[in-house]
Structure 1
């Protein structure tokens, strides 16, 4: 690892560890049963197929995407490099024999070669300190034909609609008060981390695609994120419905090439 990234990675670990106890209270992190869980499950099913598979989940956090994967019958190895986050996830899924939680770095998983049918992550790629290294590791642990599934977004530049939505949220909060669990609760630390990341000026599908291709992935596609956003809005209050408009989010699906027998 480039030692220049050491302090940054420790700051990232500390930031999310401090948020672990209340992370599920922040809108957009918890995936509640009902329309939202169904939307996430459909997105996963469409990307990697309906049959139970061996899945590596990167940066599992409090185990919300883990729950989606388990609901679909997959066997899951869920890793995170925050022990505090893993503690919440382990408690949430205590007794489930189809999930194994591992303290590990998503950029260097230390998992065996060609061990997984799918590698999945949510809101991880924008935090990578060495994205090329991470992608090389992810294709290494995938079986030939295995799928990479990424849920992420450009968290630096609000859309035009997002800027208007942000103004509306600020007006609402003048009336009802600030939401202490939203990401802005640690905004100075969050902003400091973001400034030091390779994707400090924003992660977009257009920027990620060539990196994924250069890592050796094929069949790269960008399914719509719309169904997830619509499901999030379904039972949300006005403030949180507006928050779904802030940023441009995307889904990426890609495959490790199938080896050709000689």
Structure 2
């Protein structure tokens, strides 16, 4: 066994293996105009129009959020440390004719210049962070004074009543609920989850506390995402769609003083 193989390496390799099929999953890529409009509404609500401002999309994956930011008028840099994800992202941007810069890097240590971005975005990243307190300090440093971070995530570890239904379904039928991951990938996902900072639950309040400790102010938690979730749920199998509607998902926007 390679003793230098860390949890961060494991996370990178897991998402690299997911890259080829990542955009096939509802909740990753966008499959309806209703969902697209929901994301655009959310971005404009918290960040306003881009007007050429510099945006850094952390753990950009195949660049779903990067493209939404680009269409809102931001000058976007997408950062990810999975070469496989970045290959998909670059191909998508080329196909769409979108002028998005992509760089390989670690969201917890971006190596981007200090005070260089007006906006930082990320989706489904914070729960994967090994050291979110350190990461938030890094993001604070990279933002220009007055810049904002927009976190799109959720308390995925929280049990919902729909999870209970899914377990009952499995017990009665012997069939696991529909999933976009194989049992082997699901097991790897759970193994990773058990070793990150937010290994069980990730309530918005815990994220807010760490943002505040990093120096962020004017922190807003937005739970009004039903337009996005309803559009996603309509494209999912029934139980997965129902779970999407009841999960504790949120956007958190915070500002660097200046």
Q: Same fold (TM over 0.5)?
A: yes
**3-state DSSP of counterpart to 2:191:** helix
Deviates more, 1:207-216 or 1:218-227: 218-227
Q: Which residue of 1 aligns with 2:54?
A: 54
* 1:1-262 → structure 2 map (5 Å cutoff): 7-52=6-51, 53-94=53-94, 96=97, 98-159=99-160, 161-167=161-167, 170=170, 179=178, 181-182=180-181, 186-224=185-223, 225-245=225-245, 247-258=247-258
| Conserved? CA contact 1:35–1:234, under 8 Å | no
Q: Give, in whole Å, the separation in 2 of the partners of 1:100 and 1:114.
A: 18
Q: Give, in whole Å, the separation in 1 of the partners of 2:92 and 2:238.
A: 29
**3-state DSSP of counterpart to 1:244:** helix
Offset at residue 165 of structure 1 (A): 4.9
Q: Give, in whole Å, the separation in 1 of the partners of 2:190 and 2:145.
A: 38
The number of equivalent residue pairs is: 253
Offset at residue 220 of structure 1 (A): 0.3
Contiguous gaps of at least 5 residues in structure 1: none
Cα deviations by residue, 1:197-228 (Å, 9 ceiling, x for unpaired): 11112211011111000100000001123232
| Conserved? CA contact 1:163–1:246, under 8 Å | no
Contiguous gaps of at least 5 residues in structure 2: none
Q: Give, in whole Å, the separation in 2 of the partners of 1:78 and 1:172.
A: 44
Cα distance change, pair 168–38 in 1 and its aligned pair in 2 (3 A) = farther
| Conserved? CA contact 2:162–2:239, under 8 Å | no
Q: Give, in whole Å, the separation in 2 of the partners of 1:112 and 1:173.
A: 54
RMSD in angstroms over aligned alpha carbons?
2.4
TM-score (norm 1): 0.88
Deviates more, 1:232-241 or 1:24-33: 232-241
Cα distance change, pair 180–136 in 1 and its aligned pair in 2 (3 A) = same
